[in-house]
Amino acid sequence: MAVFNNLFVLLWVFLAFASSISSNYFFTQACFSTDHGGAALQIGAYYHTCPDVERIIYSKVEEAVMNDPRMAASLLRLHFHDCFVNGCDASVLLDDTNTFVGEKTALPNLNSLRGFDVVDAIKSELESVCPETVSCADILAAAARDSVVLSGGPGWDVLMGRKDSLSASKTDANNNIPAPNSDLKTLITKFQSVGLDYTDMVALSGAHTIGQARCSSFSSSLQGSSSSSSDGPALDLQFLASLKQLCSNAESNNNATLTALDLATPATFDNQYFINLISGEALLPSDQVLVAGNSPTLEIVESYAIDPRAFFEDFKQSMLRMGILSPLTGGNGQIRRNCRVAN
């Protein structure tokens, strides 16, 4: 009987161990791959087909950022504007054709989106090393991560395996990408409609810790004296005066005059953006509304302003969530040879 009991205990221990391994395995798989449309996005998707892909993308982004430090911000924004319009499918990169008007001339993108040449350079290098293998949508996702890292921000493993779209939509870009003068409710709705919540929205808005904006993007904040035109708190008077001066010059073209989204540390990816919001130095009206009186976003802004690690952690997670919005996988879409045109 004692032998039987011992055997029973051993069997029980074995089963418990095996089940813990399999649930850990499941957890790992669930964290590192995601199943959409039949095929999975995964880390190391090009491990066998293009093993140097991430090194090549990183070195091209690095070179571009060395030549033009703002390029990090521009590449990060490209990925965002891609993912919000029918998923992360590189539709933003397509030029107009006879059958569709693409996204490049949509209001949020026109005279504003940058980085297309850098993506072309990455794509052409990848085509020479491993032809027709790496999608333009994956290039955008990896370049966005590399841009954050090169600016001093956090890194994360990019899930790969997206395919590229065959078309693009100017109308959808106009409708889906949030505008800088949207109120908080509209901003939250736009994020919710792609499956992201308001914590994602606040964390991702932290991308405005790098990069620049044109006067035309924040001119509505410059009306009046110290109160902002949005439902956010009053802007700092000195900050407002300096913006007014910058943008008031009749000679200056509101599309060409730029200022940093984060004046304190303009090219460093840190939590300074959130500190600026609290001290009344938010550039865009859509930034100001995040700290409006009783908004649910205020508390999140405050937590990121005091805890940069919390911001980095949430930013990584939200970038991962944004990066897997409706990807084309498996038999859907294609690997474009040239990111600007469907094959």
Considering the complex, what minimum distance in angstroms separates the CB of residue 33 from ligand HEM? 22
82 labeled binding residue: yes
Tell me: does residue 153 bind ligand HEM (CB under 6 A).
no
E-only strand ranges, 31-173 = 33-36, 39-42
Residue 275 gets the label, from left (phi > 0), alpha (psi -120 to 50) or beta, of: alpha
Active site residue 79: no
257 labeled binding residue: no
281 in Cβ contact with 236 (< 8 Å): yes
With respect to ligand HEM, which residue has the nearer C-beta, 255 or 343? 255
Stretch that binds ligand HEM, among 74-82, 233-241, 306-314, 324-332 (CB under 6 A): 74-82
User: For residue 33, what are the β-bridge partners?
Assistant: 42
208 labeled binding residue: yes
Q: Which of 134, 210, 267, 301 binds ligand HEM (CB under 6 A)?
A: 210
The residues, ordered by sequence, that sit 6+ positions from 181 with a Cβ below 8 Å of its Cβ are 220, 229, 230, 285, 286
Considering the complex, what minimum distance in angstroms separates the CB of residue 97 from ligand HEM? 25
Q: Which of 53, 76, 122, 342 binds ligand HEM (CB under 6 A)?
A: 76
User: For residue 341, what are the β-bridge partners?
Assistant: 338
Considering the complex, what minimum distance in angstroms separates the CB of residue 283 from ligand HEM? 8
Tell me: does residue 80 bind ligand HEM (CB under 6 A).
yes
Distances (CA, A) of 125 to 103, 119, 122, 140, 199: 25, 10, 5, 15, 37
Helix (H/G/I), strand (E/B), else coil: 338 = strand
Q: Which of 44, 69, 70, 199 binds ligand HEM (CB under 6 A)?
A: 70
The C-alpha atoms of residue 136 and residue 128 are separated, in whole angstroms, by 14
Tell me: does residue 214 bind ligand HEM (CB under 6 A).
yes
Tell me: does residue 329 bind ligand HEM (CB under 6 A).
no
The C-alpha atoms of residue 122 and residue 120 are separated, in whole angstroms, by 5
103 labeled binding residue: yes
DSSP H/E element including 238? helix 237-248
36 labeled binding residue: no
> Which residue in 39, 340, 38, 321 sits closest to 158, CA to CA?
321
Q: Which residues bind ligand HEM (CB under 6 A)?
A: 70, 73-74, 76-77, 80, 112, 114, 178-180, 187, 201, 204-205, 207-208, 210-214, 217, 261, 284, 286
- Residues marked as binding for Ca(2+)? 82, 85, 87, 89, 91, 103, 209, 262, 265, 270
